[in-house]
Structure 1
Amino acid sequence: MTDDAEAAFRQTGWPGLRARLFHLYFLLRRPMTLGVRGLIHDTASNSIFLIRHTYVPGWQLPGGGVEVGETMADALARELVEECNIALTGPPVLKSMHFNRRSSRRDHVGFYLIEHFSQTTSKLPDHEIAEAGFFPLDRLPEGTTPATLRRIAEIFDGKPTSAYW
């Protein structure tokens, strides 16, 4: 990606500053950060679940940080409940690990495919999640983040897996 293209994807204004401050807080608490993201695929409707945070721009895959003493799978299950009202009904499949150099020089993300889940109620907006829902693969919302589009292409289009988030 060119420097100009990368600059275009950087978060700007208050949402970008808020995201950087949020990450700085975690960086000070945990110099090495580890996160998880899940691609929730509803095979019946060929749709995926995306969220839009209140503090960073764009539609993205749900997930978050792995807490001290927590496994990646436990963190994923917790984040799915918090951000999506989705419970795992089968094991998620770890598809890849990525270096997230945009967040910091020490951030990594475990990427999971989830096809066994239940959702009893829709996710309503709250202080963290502005919007959330299932979207058909051929009609993703405008503003879907580049990293999210890359992960979708790796799973559904057979694109090579990038080492970078």
Structure 2
Amino acid sequence: MRFVRPLLRRITHGITLGVRVIAIDAENRVLLVRHGYTPGWHFPGGGVDVGETTEAAARRELKEETNVEATGPLRLTGLYFNSRFGNRDHVACYRASTFTCGPVPAPGFEIAEIGFFPLSALPQGLSAGSARRLAELAGKAEPSAVW
């Protein structure tokens, strides 16, 4: 049922707002998820619910999708325009510097796979938005306003 939410959100809201979380561990590995309903590897994240702050949504989605809990402050890395969803979608991206990892959830339709990947060996199929954010963090690309 949860996979229906993004579609309903687009139908019922003029503007959609989502969040993504960049979590890089002490071994310089980034946390990524592969969804069951769209190709590629992405940062964990999802939609902001009514009455919810973007930071609260980022913490919730990180925990729901990966069982990783941000234990310190989240740092907003940017607000980005995402034209893939009807030219009205925006993504607030956060960086989690400190976090704890619980047991990896079983694969499901929404999240088919979860993994930590070395920044020097990212998986094939990394989403364009995730790749841009990592390049910006590494100082290899100029900041962009586009997801």
* 1:25 equivalent among 8, 12, 20: 8
- Structure 2: segments with no counterpart, 5+ residues: none
2:6 and 2:47 in contact (8 A); partners too: no
Give 3-state SS (helix, strand or coil) of 1:103's partner: coil
- Structure 1: segments with no counterpart, 5+ residues: 1-18
Q: Which residue of 2 aligns with 1:3?
A: none
Q: Which residue of 2 aligns with 1:92?
A: 74
* 2:52 equivalent among 54, 70, 91: 70
TM-score by length of 2: 0.92
Distance 1:129 1:117, change over 3 A: same
Give 3-state SS (helix, strand or coil) of 1:77's partner: helix
* 1:107 equivalent among 89, 94, 112: 89
Q: Runs ≥4 in structure 1, deviation > 3 angstroms?
A: 21-24
1:37 and 1:64 in contact (8 A); partners too: yes
The one-letter amino acid of 2:13's match is R
Q: CA deviation at 1:101?
A: 1.0
TM-score by length of 1: 0.83
Distance 1:124 1:157, change over 3 A: farther
Looking at structure 2, the residues matched to 109 and 128 of structure 1 have their Cα atoms a distance apart, in angstroms, of 19
The one-letter amino acid of 2:115's match is G
Q: Which residue of 2 aligns with 1:9?
A: none
1:36-94, Cα deviation, whole Å (9 max, x unpaired) = 0011010x210000000000000111100000000001101110111110111001100
Higher strand residue share: 2
2:20 and 2:91 in contact (8 A); partners too: yes
The one-letter amino acid of 2:89's match is D
Q: Which residue of 1 aligns with 2:103?
A: 121
Larger radius of gyration: 1
The one-letter amino acid of 2:9's match is F
1:62 and 1:80 in contact (8 A); partners too: yes
Q: CA deviation at 1:22?
A: 6.1
Looking at structure 1, the residues matched to 76 and 117 of structure 2 have their Cα atoms a distance apart, in angstroms, of 22
Give 3-state SS (helix, strand or coil) of 1:78's partner: helix
CA RMSD of aligned residues (A): 1.5
Percent identity, aligned pairs only?
45
Q: Which residue of 2 aligns with 1:12?
A: none
Looking at structure 2, the residues matched to 78 and 88 of structure 1 have their Cα atoms a distance apart, in angstroms, of 9
Name which structure has the greater RCO, CA cutoff 8 Å, separation 6+: 2
Alignment of 1:17-56 (within 5 A): 23-42=6-25, 44-56=26-38
